[in-house]
């Protein structure tokens, strides 16, 4: 009897644990009320970083503010460039 009770308790705990994990991974049941609030602005840089690219990033952040974008996604594929321009980009991000 005691062993059966222990096995039943263990099985119940496992089922509860699996349910909690599954609930944490489930997508939200209700989509956002305002799809435009989830707007993401994507910016790609595929060249060396110079003042022109820093201005481009600044303009992207200005556009994101104008259009109420929630996120600016910056994808960079660069061999490097001017330290001062990269610092300007970093300052705009932070």
What tens-digit pLDDT sequence spans the chain (94 residues)? 677 776 666 666 665 556 555 555 555 556 666 665 678 999 998 989 999 999 999 999 999 999 988 899 999 998 888 999 989 988 888 8
Q: List the domain boundaries for the chain.
A: 2-93
Q: What is the pTM of this model?
A: 0.57
State the number of CA atoms in the 13 A half-sphere of 11 facing the CB: 6
Domain 2-93 CATH class label: alpha beta
Residue 81 three-state SS: strand
Q: Is 41 left (phi over 0), alpha (psi -120 to 50) or beta?
A: beta
Question: What pLDDT score was predicted for residue 22?
Answer: 58
């Amino acid at each position: 009897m005691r062993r059966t009770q222990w096995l039943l308790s263990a099985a119940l705990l496992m089922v509860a644990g699996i349910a909690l994990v599954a609930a944490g991974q489930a997508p939200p049941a209700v989509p956002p009320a305002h799809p435009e609030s989830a707007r993401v602005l994507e910016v790609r840089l595929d060249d060396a970083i110079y003042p022109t690219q820093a201005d481009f990033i600044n303009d992207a952040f200005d556009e994101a503010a104008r259009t109420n974008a929630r996120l600016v996604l910056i994808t960079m594929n660069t061999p490097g460039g001017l330290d001062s321009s990269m610092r300007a980009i970093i300052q705009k991000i932070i």
